[in-house]
Chains A and B, each alone.
Chain A
């Protein structure tokens, strides 16, 4: 995608092209159409996941009912890592291809990623007190997840501090790409070093070490977290698109159409 001015009325080429949706004015209506299905999936999965986790899954032999915070803690921790990698990916795409939309996607994801990291840390502290006997220790897993939270905050703060969006995007991209090194460190910390945090119960290489209904609840909640993240990122990216492109024809036409709709109603 070059910096050449884009016309508002660009028809899709004969075949389906992934790049057709790579510009804001074509992606905006698509994102709008995807919103409702995403919300419905998110709500349905959350209800199913919480019900499985709190009513169907058995109590744990060692921890009793306090383990049930896992149904929020683990999906939040997974999402905090995944969202960061997705951000770094979009930033790299933006830097390489000079696309506007990829940087907007990254900005749209950051607050949600920060929220997941915060939830993972907070629920972890609440879980640590009754089981380990402490809210917080400076072990490799907890510390690296805290660094992830700070990386999200740093990304958002840096972007907000620079007025020129193009420069803000590039500066933020540097934090996102450099910080991505931290994600594998979080993931493997419990393998590489002695930590108070236990190892992974679910991994790609081993069969899960949990009762199957517990696992079902956790995976449902993880999918719900995915759907929520996609939904909220779409809402935010639509807002960012309109704000950044407010002086372009397609946003003006959108505004005119909305006004016409209001006067009719």
Chain B
């Protein structure tokens, strides 16, 4: 082997070894890499017990209740399989909406209610003008009536 080829082989082997090591580390820390737990994971008791964590999912349609004081809210977070009731007091982000993504940080109490200290909105990767969104909604509704 020429020295040049030797150096190439060394670098290639180094990069491959490094990629392997990175994969192993990331797999080992898989549990710590999750930013939030889904309601199904919480139901399966995969979420940490007795300490703060985040749950993520959709705000269930029609589940949002505003308290009399105007700052406290209750809603259900769903991943379409399981649901978790969430209570929260404070300002909600502008994009917080029923049927849209949400990530809440807090603790699960004994009654299975998630007491959130922070609520963030999670939006999707779709960008479209309002007219297109409206048309899409109409199409969905029309489809729904046909199915029923």
Q: Which residue of chain B lies nearest to A210 when distances are taken between CB atoms in the complex?
A: B127
Known: A61-B132, A96-B8, A195-B35. A132 touches B18 (CB 8 A): no
Q: Which of B22-56 contact A (CB under 8 A)?
A: 22, 26, 33-38, 56
B33 near A140 with CB under 8 A, answer yes
B127 near A209 with CB under 8 A, answer yes
**What 1/0 mask marks residues of chain B from 103 to 140 whose CB sits below 8 Å from any chain A CB?**
10000000000000011111111111111111000000
In the bound complex, how far is the Cα of B15 from the Cα of A13, in angstroms?
36
Known: A198-B123, A209-B126, A210-B126. A133 touches B93 (CB 8 A): yes
CB distance from B27 to the nearest CB of A (A): 10
B130 near A132 with CB under 8 A, answer no
B125 near A96 with CB under 8 A, answer no
Interface of A is mostly: loop
In the bound complex, how far is the Cα of B17 from the Cα of A177, in angstroms?
12
Contacts of A138 in B (CB 8 A): 35
Interface magnitude class on chain B: 35 or more
Interface centre among B125, B127, B128 (most CB of A within 10 A): B127
User: At the interface, yes or no: B13 with Cβ under 8 Å from chain A?
Assistant: no
Contacts of B133 in A (CB 8 A): 61-62
CB distance from A120 to the nearest CB of B (A): 16
Q: Which residue of chain B lies nearest to A140 when distances are taken between CB atoms in the complex?
A: B33
Contacts of A249 in B (CB 8 A): none
B129 near A211 with CB under 8 A, answer yes
In the bound complex, how far is the Cα of B124 from the Cα of A200, in angstroms?
9
A133 near B92 with CB under 8 A, answer yes
The listed residue (B38, B94, B126) touching A201 by CB distance below 8 A is B126
In the bound complex, how far is the Cα of B11 from the Cα of A178, in angstroms?
10
A67 near B34 with CB under 8 A, answer no
Contacts of B38 in A (CB 8 A): 194
The listed residue (A177, A193, A196) touching B120 by CB distance below 8 A is A196
Contacts of A211 in B (CB 8 A): 127-129, 132
CB distance from B2 to the nearest CB of A (A): 10
CB distance from A180 to the nearest CB of B (A): 8
The listed residue (B7, B92, B121, B127) touching A70 by CB distance below 8 A is B127
A137 near B19 with CB under 8 A, answer no
A137 near B95 with CB under 8 A, answer no
In the bound complex, how far is the Cα of B4 from the Cα of A98, in angstroms?
8
Q: Which residue of chain B lies nearest to A138 when distances are taken between CB atoms in the complex?
A: B35
CB distance from A172 to the nearest CB of B (A): 14
Interface centre among B14, B38, B125 (most CB of A within 10 A): B125
User: At the interface, yes or no: A253 with Cβ under 8 Å from chain B?
Assistant: no
B35 near A210 with CB under 8 A, answer no
A196 near B35 with CB under 8 A, answer yes
B4 near A96 with CB under 8 A, answer yes
Known: A132-B121, A133-B120. A193 touches B126 (CB 8 A): no
Contacts of B123 in A (CB 8 A): 62-63, 131-132, 198
User: At the interface, yes or no: A181 with Cβ under 8 Å from chain B?
Assistant: yes
A193 near B94 with CB under 8 A, answer no
Known: A62-B95, A95-B11, A185-B26. A194 touches B36 (CB 8 A): yes
User: At the interface, yes or no: A134 with Cβ under 8 Å from chain B?
Assistant: yes
**What 1/0 mask marks residues of chain A from 176 to 189 whose CB sits below 8 Å from any chain B CB?**
01101100010000
The interface of chain A, by Cβ under 8 A from chain B, is 58-63, 67, 70, 92, 95-98, 130-134, 137-140, 177-178, 180-181, 185, 192-196, 198-201, 209-211, 214
Q: List 7 A-B contacts (CB under 8 A).
A: A59-B129, A61-B133, A95-B7, A133-B120, A134-B118, A198-B124, A201-B127
